[in-house]
């Protein structure tokens, strides 16, 4: 089953939380917070203006995003937990190229 969100909504798959710190300390699963990063799975057509035109969304499927801890609504599709949220709940798009250049 494919999922197509309406208007300015986005379907997001949460990324797994980090279980070890940079210093090597292992964090118990009960102590980890819900991850605030995710991957965009599907996007809607965009919001509709007063004139009836669609404004396309800034995020695309495959983008890694940052969102608030309590953003969106949890849904379950094909035994997979996903989030559906409005584009306005997305705080930032994470660009991986900048991270890879710093590592080099």
User: Which letter does DSSP use for residue 54 in this model?
Assistant: E
**Looking at the domain assignment, is residue 3 inside a domain?**
no
**Looking at the domain assignment, is residue 24 inside a domain?**
no
First CA to last CA distance, the chain: 41
Q: What is the pLDDT of residue 37?
A: 86
**Looking at the domain assignment, is residue 81 inside a domain?**
yes
**Looking at the domain assignment, is residue 1 inside a domain?**
no
CB 34 within 8 A of CB 83: no
**Cβ neighbours of 93 (radius 10 Å):** 13
**Looking at the domain assignment, is residue 25 inside a domain?**
no
Q: How many domains is the chain built from? A: 1
Q: What is the pLDDT of residue 45?
A: 86
CATH number of the domain enclosing 67: 2.30.33.40
Range of the domain at 41: 9-18+31-103
**Looking at the domain assignment, is residue 88 inside a domain?**
yes
**Looking at the domain assignment, is residue 65 inside a domain?**
yes
**Looking at the domain assignment, is residue 26 inside a domain?**
no
Statement: the pTM of the whole predicted model exceeds 0.75: no
Q: What is the pLDDT along the chain (104 residues), one digit of tens a residue?
A: 678 888 889 999 988 766 666 677 666 666 556 778 889 999 988 888 888 888 888 888 989 999 888 888 888 888 888 989 998 899 998 887 655 555 55
């Amino acid at each position: 089953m494919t999922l197509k969100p309406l208007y300015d909504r986005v379907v997001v798959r949460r990324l797994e939380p980090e279980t070890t710190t940079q210093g090597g300390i292992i964090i118990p699963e009960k102590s980890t917070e819900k991850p605030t990063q995710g991957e965009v799975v599907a996007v809607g057509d965009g919001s509709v203006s007063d004139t009836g035109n669609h404004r396309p969304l800034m995020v695309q499927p495959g983008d890694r995003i940052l969102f608030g801890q309590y953003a969106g609504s949890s849904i379950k599709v094909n035994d997979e937990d996903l989030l559906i949220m409005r584009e306005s709940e997305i705080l930032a798009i994470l660009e991986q190229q900048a991270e890879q250049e710093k590592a080099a």
